[in-house]
Structures are given as structure tokens and as C-alpha cells.
Amino acid sequence: MKKLFKRFISNFELVFGISIILAFAVVAIAAPQIAPPTEGESPYYLPRDGYKGIPLPPNDAHPLGTLPRQYDVFYGLIWGTRIAFLVGLSITLGRTLIGGLLGLTSGYFGGFLDSLVMRITDTFMAIPAIAAAAILYALFGEIGQPMKASQFLLSSKNEQIVIIALIAFGWMQYARLLRANVLSEREKEYVQAAISIGSPKMRILFKHLLPNSIRGLLVLIASDIGAMVATVSVFYFIGLIGESPYGFLADWGLMLSASRDWIVSASSRPFEFWYTYAPASAAIVLFTVGWSMIGDGLRDVLDPRTR
Amino acid sequence: MLNYILRRLLILPLVMFLITSAIFLLLLQLPVERRAEVYIPSVNPHLTDAQYEELIQSTIERYGLNEPFYVQYSNWIVNLLQGDWGFSPTWKQPVLEGLLRRLPASIELGIFAMVPSILLAFVFGRLAAKRHNRTADYAVRSTAFIGWAMPNFIFGLIFMTVFYAWLNWFPAERMSTSVSLLVNSDNFRSYTGFLTIDGIMNGNYPVTGDALRHLMLPGLTLAVFQWALFVRIMRASLLEEFNQDYITTARSKGLSERMILEAHATRNAVLPMISSAGVAMSMLFGNVIVVEVLFNFNGIGRWAIESIQRFDAPVAIGFILLSSAISLAASLGADILYAVADPRVTID
């Protein structure tokens, strides 16, 4: 255990990744202090300062400038941290629950159930998640779906659709990994011993197999949290999730997509409107890379063979 | 071997059945009028709204859209097999025609990104493993980490701002306006749909050059991720091979390091690359869609996304069918290639 801990802190990637994510967590927790919201308004929507269409460069009132239609970039960056954590964690949690349950049962019980679950997994694997989200959107999406004020995470019906699609069509790797781990754990002596003394099945499953098989899953979960934030941003960027009529949600992806027309500007100065897209992109990159470093580092620590 | 391929092929119909029925179950949740659009094979674009309404009603009658599930499902499958993939209300065009016309552009883009990235991944993966924990290894490792961990569309944004907006070295979109006029005229015959190859076959080299210039930025964006993915796999599996007993045996026989790397380790290390190629292809497909939208590249991804933004159900269904078929074919190809490359693979 002590040795594992030592490997933990001597792993540069892991330490670096954890510090990045901790910094984001601090920002997320301290958001009301860093960027105080307007009284009486929902804090998850960007405050606007006028209605002018042209984004303004950084000035005294707006430390990082404004987006088109005068939404404050700095405010969005800070409160977007909370949304990023919520989006990333909820998608990976959903994937872990579905994939974990299926992988665990099919690995443990085997036989017909196993092959059935594996064929279903194959089927889902064949459908690219982006196409799945697109079809759910085309069939059930709506323009300007209003929402209740308490539902700050799932800003609009369209974002709910994307999140559901990413869960429903993204659990397969989890199931496969957990199944493979359970299969190899099941053959080990301690499990055989538990079976031979007549432990109940549920006890073997959840007390022995689950804790010992889940380690490899942590790597996947860690790098997925960041990747999902980037994926949801992609859906904003290609225009499959729009603004909710309720306001401009503090989401990095939405901020980036709002700046889409200002990236290649008509003027001769190429990076004139950098403040519309650079801060949000940097936040997405740091968040994703931070989680990936944690995932990569965890893999090295848990499985030092490939170092 | 043949047995393995046959058994692998036999799973295909089952998977296709599961996919189509899942899609159909989703489709059933729609109101019947929108569902009817999926059955219309083609339509005169000059219909008035009232006539279109009438057509929808007659389609509902004809395909029994108020009948039980299995009747509707089998009607739909028969339609699909006959090439009637529905009619897009957005573009006033049959879905299959719209998809197939743009498919070559997307495939061309995918190949343009995939081939060099795999070759370079092979070279750099070997280099990194050979120089394990030395400067070259660290350089390859960190570059690959960045390419793998950074969101791909952010790379696209960077390339677009730097090479298109600022330096203006490479353009966006699929072809220049002058070329598109030429390509759509009668003087230009489309043999393959791949602009680069068609240009050569027509003896019109400027078209090929133009196509290559337009492929550059989206291709580079895609290649960065593919390269990073494969380099990481190649390096890790080579390092794992180096720890195996047979390498120790080879060393103790006095074989040269070069011989060990080239004749022994590389061959075995290629296997994980092949087995992950199926998943990589399906990831590539997802990235192609995003990159096409980003660079305004006229392929199936951009076409589909533009229709889906308008809630075009027939295009969405055609798109998911086509993309699942492509990714199934890719994983099947990878599996067969794996079985060919690794004689130890047996059934199951």
C-alpha cells in the first residue's frame, strides 16, 4: 500500500493532472466569490451588458472582453467550470452504472446471458455515438424548449438528448473491460474459496469481484470525464445544441460556438477577436488534458508493465 | 481460418437486425405524419403544400403506418433493401442519393488522413520503443499525448486560424469555385467520385492539385489524432514484446538488436495495432463529421448535420444506417486481417 502511494506521488503525469483538476475544482467551488452573479438571477446564465453584436476586447468592466451580444467571457469561464464538472461526471457515472452492471453480470454468470449481452454490446459498438446523438436529436429535438429554473445542468431538452445519447451509446467499453476483469478474477483462488464455503452469489459479486475488477475501470473513467466535456462542446459547436430561450448558459462549448463567426474575421488582422474563442478553448483543453493525465498516470501506477 | 471468417460473417445479419429494430423502435415514437416521410422514395420538388400533404396521407395508407409493429418493420426493411431510404424534406431529394453522392468525398478525406498517420505511427512508435526512456522517446511520447488528449476540433480551430485565416496557405471547403464549375460541367467525367483520382483520370492535373490543397487542413486535423492513437499503441506493445522470453532468447543467441527489433518484436507488436483499427476507424468516422462541419467540407457528415439541425428524420435514419454499416465493415475487416496476421487465432 505504501509502495503504491509512493508510485502515486512519484508519477509526474498523475500529480500534474490532479493539480490541474484541483485548480478547476477550487474555481468551481469559489465561483460566487470570483465572479459574483447578479442578485435575483440564476447564476448559471451569463450576464449581458447591452445588445451590441460586435464582441468587445478586454476592458475594465470585462476582464476578458465580451462575446457577440455582450455576454461576459470571464463570468462564463468561471461558472462554466461547474457545468463542465457536472456534464463530465454525470455522463461517466451513467456509463459506469450501465456498463458496470452489464459487464459484471455477464462476466460472472456466463453462458447464454453472457453471449446475449456481448451481442448487444457489439450492436451498440457499431453505432458511432455522434450519429446516435444526431438521430435522437433529429427525432426528438425541439427548437427553443423552455425549462424550469432548477434544471441548471440540463439546460435545454436538446442538451438532455445529447447527454442521454452519450450515456446510452457509450457504456460498451466499460462493460467489456469489466467483463474481462471479472472473467480473470473469477478463476482466482479467493473466489473459488468463497464459492466453496457457500457464500451467497450477491456477496461474491459485490464484495469480492466488483472491488477487485474495478481498478482498471478507473483509468477509463478518469480520461472519459474530460473527453465528454469536449464531446458536448463539439455538439454545441456543430450546432446541434443551441442557446436555450432562458438565457445564455455558462458552458464553454456554447461560448465557443457563439464565437464561430468571429474566428475567421473579415479584417486583415487575423487574431483580432481572439478573446471570443481563445479563453473557452483553453479551458476545454486544460480540463480535458488534466483528466487525461490523471487517466494516463493511473494506468502507469496500476499497471507498471508498459512504462 | 475460413471457418472463422464465415462465423464472423454470420453474426452480421444478427447485429444488423438488432440495429435496425432499435432504430425502428425510436422511429415509432414519432407522429405518423413525420414517420411517413421515411417511406417516400422520391417526390416531385414542385409539389404544393396541399399535394405534399396528400402524398403523406397516401403513404400512411400504403405502408400501413397504423398497423402493428412487425408489419411496419418488415415494410420498412423491404423498402431499405430496394434502395428506398426515404425522402428528405429539407433538400427535396431522396436520402440515399444525397448520401451516396457525398460519400466519396468523406472516404477520400478519411483515407488521406489515415494512411500517412498509420505509416508515421509505425515509424515513430518503433523509434520511441528503441530509444526507451531517452530523449527521442520523451519527445514522441509527449507529442503523442498532446495529440491524443487534446480535443480534435480544437486542433481544427488552431489550424484554421493559423493556416487559413492568418497565413492563407491552405483553403477551407472541398474545392475552389472555378474547379467546382469545371467538375459539374460536361467536360469532366466522374469515375470514382474521388476528386484527386478523377482529376488524374481526366488528365486535368490542376483539379487534383486543388483537391489536395483543400484536403490538407481537414486531413491534418484528423491525422493528428489518428497518429497519436496508433503511436501510443505501437510503442506500448513493442515495449511489452521486449519483456517477453523469446526476445531474451534471441538476445542470448547473439542476434543483433536490429534483427531482434525488425524480425521478431515488430511483427508481434503490429497485432494490437490491427485489433484496435476497427475502433480507430469508428472514431475516425466521428471525427470526420466534426471536421467536415468545421471546414465546410462537402461530405456526408456536413450534409447530415445540416439536415439534422432542421430535424430531418429520413436523413438522420439514413445517416445512422450508413455509418453503422461502415463501422461494422471496418471492424469486420480488422478482425479478418487479425486472423490472417496471427495464426494463433481460432474460433471465438
User: Among B147, B30, B14, which residue's Cα sits nearest to residue A123?
Assistant: B14
| Inter-chain touch B331–A120, beta carbons under 8 Å | no
B305 neighbourhood in chain A, CB within 8 Å: 134, 238-240
Q: Could you say which of B26, B154, B239 has the minimum Cβ distance to residue A306?
A: B239
Q: Could you say which of A135, A139, A264 has the minimum Cβ distance to residue B160?
A: A264
Please give the backbone phi and psi of residue B93, each rounded to the nearest 5 degrees, phi first.
-155, 145
Q: Cα dihedral angle (A217, A220, A222, A225), rounded to 10 degrees?
A: -120
Average pLDDT (A207-230) is: 88
Q: Which amino acid is at B110?
A: G
pLDDT confidence bin for A305, thresholds 50/70/90: low
Distance from CA of B56 to the nearest CA of A (A): 18
| Inter-chain touch B161–A270, beta carbons under 8 Å | yes
**Mutation choice for B interface testing from A127, A142, A162, A233 by most B CBs within 10 A:** A127
Chain segment B94-147, per-residue pLDDT in tens: 889 889 989 999 999 999 999 999 999 999 999 999 888 889 999 999 999 999
Is B81 within 8 Å of chain A by CB? no
Tally Cβ neighbours within 10 Å of residue A85. Answer: 19
Q: Could you say which of B149, B164, B324 has the minimum Cβ distance to residue A288?
A: B149
Q: Is pLDDT at A202 greater than 80 in this prediction? A: yes
Q: Is pLDDT at A262 greater than 60 in this prediction? A: yes
Count contacts between A and B (CB, < 8 Å): 144
User: Among A285, A279, A280, A287, which residue's Cα sits nearest to residue A252?
Assistant: A280
Tally Cβ neighbours within 10 Å of residue A157. Answer: 19
Q: Could you say which of A138, A288, A293 has the minimum Cβ distance to residue B311?
A: A138
Tally Cβ neighbours within 10 Å of residue A59. Answer: 10
Instruction: Please state, in angstroms and rounded to a whole number, the distance separating the CA atoms of residues B334 and B269.
Output: 15
pLDDT confidence bin for A88, thresholds 50/70/90: very high
Chain segment B43-68, per-residue pLDDT in tens: 666 777 777 788 888 888 777 777 77
Instruction: Please state, in angstroms and rounded to a whole number, the distance separating the CA atoms of residues B182 and A71.
Output: 45
- Give me B47's grid cell: 409539389
B153 neighbourhood in chain A, CB within 8 Å: 230, 233-234, 237
Instruction: Tell me the three state secondary structure of residue A244.
Output: strand
Chain segment A141-164, per-residue pLDDT in tens: 776 554 444 454 555 677 888 888
Please, what is the average pLDDT of chain B? 85
Is B59 within 8 Å of chain A by CB? no
Residue-level pLDDT, tens digit, chain B, 348 residues = 777 788 878 888 888 888 888 888 888 888 887 788 777 766 666 777 777 788 888 888 777 777 777 888 888 888 888 888 888 878 888 889 889 989 999 999 999 999 999 999 999 999 999 888 889 999 999 999 999 989 998 999 899 888 888 888 888 888 887 878 887 777 787 888 888 888 888 888 888 888 899 999 999 999 999 999 999 999 989 988 888 888 888 888 888 888 888 778 888 888 888 888 878 888 888 899 999 999 989 999 999 998 888 888 888 889 999 988 888 888 888 888 888 887 775 544
pLDDT reported for residue B345: 59
Instruction: Please state, in angstroms and rounded to a whole number, the distance separating the CA atoms of residues B102 and B303.
Output: 8
pLDDT confidence bin for A5, thresholds 50/70/90: confident
Full-model pTM: 0.87
